[in-house]
Structure 1
Amino acid sequence: MEKTFSSKGKQILFFGTLSILAIYFLFQGLFHAKGFLIPLTTALIFALLMMPLARKMEKSFINRTASSLLNTFIILLVSVGFMALVSMQVKTVVDDWPQITETMKPKIENLKGFLLEHTPLDQEDLKQSGEGSSVPFMGKNSNAGQKAASFVNQAISFFGDYLLTFIYIFFILNYRHRFKDFLLLLFPDSKRKEVKKVIEDSAKVTQKYLVGKLILIGLLAVLYSIGLGVSGVNNFILVSLISAILSIIPYIGNMIGMGLAIVFGYLTSGDPTVLIGIIITFTIAQFVESYILQPYVVGDQVDLHPLFVILAVIIGGMIWGIMGMILAIPILAIFNVVFSHIPPLKPFAFLFSKEDDD
């Protein structure tokens, strides 16, 4: 009996260790392959989003190649428009920076006084902290040439991945039937009907989630515009649009949007009533999004437990950064659909879903 328990214990320890190592190397591989996987995964998600429109176009007036090209161009225009909005906001921040600096000087001095009085920090600590937070290209010891070269390399890499994503979108849309047939051919005839259903359900859950999110973004943009406009935030329409779009990153996107509103509202004017208005606006919008818009607009199309949504977003951010946060929920939803159709993995589908715990 003791030998049996000892043998089982060794097996559990062996397979447990093996599983931990496998997960570790999986995440390491995903991290190091992000330059290849992020554009490809992003293209796959966008292709699934545009697939219903592509099908309607192909049934009505154009062939598959033209439809794929047109849908890819639509996604390109939308992304360029979003980047234009962001660049306008960045330019506004640069233009308003002297005013923001002057407005914040007395508040920073008050904060330093509070820290010196109520914390163990001294003048030397605050001085070192201030020296360590220089603006890029403006620090005393910064190497402007190296930083400029690094920025250029990052920009080239970004635009390379950006253009590559649209190439992937076109080919995925244009050759989607070939990819589907390839997946079906990997399985015996008796399993192909089930595999086909898994593929269709995975596509549907992604499409419904993304369409629901787009509607949600539009409604949030209206709510933010009303609240921030009344609060007196500069460029409140642009801030509202960007804040609403950032909500596609669960939980974290709303905080980033609120930070933008504070920069363009409170830091520019220094008026405490503007800050109160911003806080009230985002509090109300968050309540409306969580309890009204999210259930009825996005609905239960993505049946995922909030705990695993948060974990997926955190892990996605650790592996792939911001894009990992954005892609985390659609990817987890697809995995959940696959798990629900494979008997040995159904316990994971139950674990990830938000069914009642009673």
Structure 2
Amino acid sequence: MARHNRFFRWCFTIILVLIIIYLGSRVSFIFKPVLSLFSMIIVPLMLAGFFYYLLRPLVNVMERHKVNRTVAILLIYLIFAIMMVGFSILVWPSLRTQLNNLVENAPALFTTLSEQVAEVEHNGFLSSFLPQDSNLLSKLTEYLNKGFTVFTEYLTGLFSFFSNFAIVLITFPILLFYMLKEGGKFGEQIVSFIPKRFRIHGKEVMDDIDHMLSSFIVGRVIVNVALGVLMYVGFLIIDLPYAMLLTVVAVILNFIPFIGSFLSSIPIVIIGFIEAPSIAIWSIVIITVAQQIQDNLISPYVFGKQLDIHPMTTIILVLMGGDIAGILGILLIIPVYMILKIVYSKVYELFFKQKWENA
């Protein structure tokens, strides 16, 4: 009888949740202002959270050395401003020049690429490996034209992004300042809403989530910067055009789980192939060696076993995140998954483990 009652309670709970979801979908217009506000603050909030975990250890160290926390944050802001000035003077002109040259020379580069493909296609050695009706040139040219169209549309879309960048530029430093100043009080405030008998467990969960996010973000930065250094040195050795720009793009794209490394390789190989097929081959070798060093030497040392996620799980999560929220979903899906995993483990341990494993 008790099992039947439990079954009916679960059925009733599921039906009630489905009814709530259905009713919520019928009055979705009520939530539009909230969703609009969320869409406006999600990017600065993500940036603030990202830099919070990067800078918090430094603020804590300064505070332990008797520096007022507010003063420590302001000093870090000052150092960051000096670094940005140095970046704008020493690095940005080269990046901007390479970016402008790439945009201006894009049509000529695609023409050269088509010529290179035609030469490779009619190469006596390679043609023996290709089917006679493969028509590689026309297919690749078609894909390149589509890619160039997407590329120009992307550049056009950048203007609308930078028109809204002022909102990020204003809100991000303010959010980051208060996050750094308050320190670990956010977790305490969340735990305060939990019933008293579960607050110890709630604090354990918040500590685990905080440690996981800190390790994940700091680890990703270290791993990607190391990958960028390896790739940039290799690109300089083979004299790859636009080496700095392509490396920066690769480092940024590698923050996207699983598919980022593939996406970042495409422009590198294309630019290398335009220069010479041998440069493209050496680019692939450098990318492969750098990623193998990252995956087998650097990542295990930095992350240990804390990111022990099966590759198939990662692929499914990335596809789900992209379908739900685009690029933001792809970036957030892995941390969200790990947070839910921590919460689920604690809930299972408290409420279900003893009943289910002793049944």
Report if TM-score (shorter chain) is over 0.5. Answer: yes
Q: Compared with structure 1, are the counterparts of its residues 229 and 154 closer, same or farther at alpha carbon in structure 2 (3 Å cutoff)?
A: closer
The 5-angstrom pairing of residues 66-215 of structure 1 reads 66-71=71-76, 84=92, 87-97=96-106, 99-107=108-116, 118=133, 135=149, 152-215=159-222
Q: Does structure 2 retain, via aligned residues, the 8 Å contact 1:224–1:281?
A: yes
Q: Does structure 1 retain, via aligned residues, the 8 Å contact 2:48–2:176?
A: yes
- Correspondence for 1:51: 56
- Correspondence for 1:244: 251
* Residue 272 of structure 1, CA deviation: 0.9
- Correspondence for 1:256: 263
- Correspondence for 1:266: 273
Give structure 2 stretches of 5+ with no counterpart.
Answer: 353-359
- Correspondence for 2:65: 60
Residue 343 (1) aligns with residue 348 (2): yes
- Correspondence for 1:143: none
Q: Does structure 2 retain, via aligned residues, the 8 Å contact 1:239–1:261?
A: yes
Letter in 2 for 1:44: G
Aligned to 1:234, the other structure's residue is in SS state: coil
* Residue 236 of structure 1, CA deviation: 2.4
Letter in 2 for 1:309: T
Aligned to 1:250, the other structure's residue is in SS state: coil
Q: Does structure 2 retain, via aligned residues, the 8 Å contact 1:223–1:285?
A: yes
* Residue 252 of structure 1, CA deviation: 1.8
Q: Does structure 1 retain, via aligned residues, the 8 Å contact 2:53–2:217?
A: no
- Correspondence for 1:330: 335
- Correspondence for 1:316: 321
Give structure 1 stretches of 5+ with no counterpart.
Answer: 140-146, 348-358
Q: Does structure 1 retain, via aligned residues, the 8 Å contact 2:53–2:218?
A: no
Aligned to 1:338, the other structure's residue is in SS state: helix
Q: Write out per-residue CA displacement over residues 67-111 of structure 1, whole angstroms, 9 at most, x where no aligned residue.
A: 334445667777895994864542231243354144124256689
Q: State the number of aligned residues.
A: 328
Residue 231 (1) aligns with residue 231 (2): no
How far apart, in 2, do the equivalents of 1:111 and 1:13 lie? 64
Q: Compared with structure 1, are the counterparts of its residues 320 and 153 closer, same or farther at alpha carbon in structure 2 (3 Å cutoff)?
A: same
- Correspondence for 1:351: none
- Correspondence for 1:356: none
* Residue 256 of structure 1, CA deviation: 2.5
CA-based RMSD: 4.7
- Correspondence for 2:18: 18
Q: Greater relative contact order (Cα 8 A, min sep 6): structure 1 or 2?
A: 1
Q: Does structure 2 retain, via aligned residues, the 8 Å contact 1:72–1:170?
A: no
How far apart, in 2, do the equivalents of 1:201 and 1:70 lie? 29
Which TM-score applies when normalising by structure 1? 0.71
Q: Write out per-residue CA displacement over residues 241-294 of structure 1, whole angstroms, 9 at most, x where no aligned residue.
A: 442343222222212221231243222x1x111111112222222333223322
How far apart, in 2, do the equivalents of 1:167 and 1:60 lie? 25
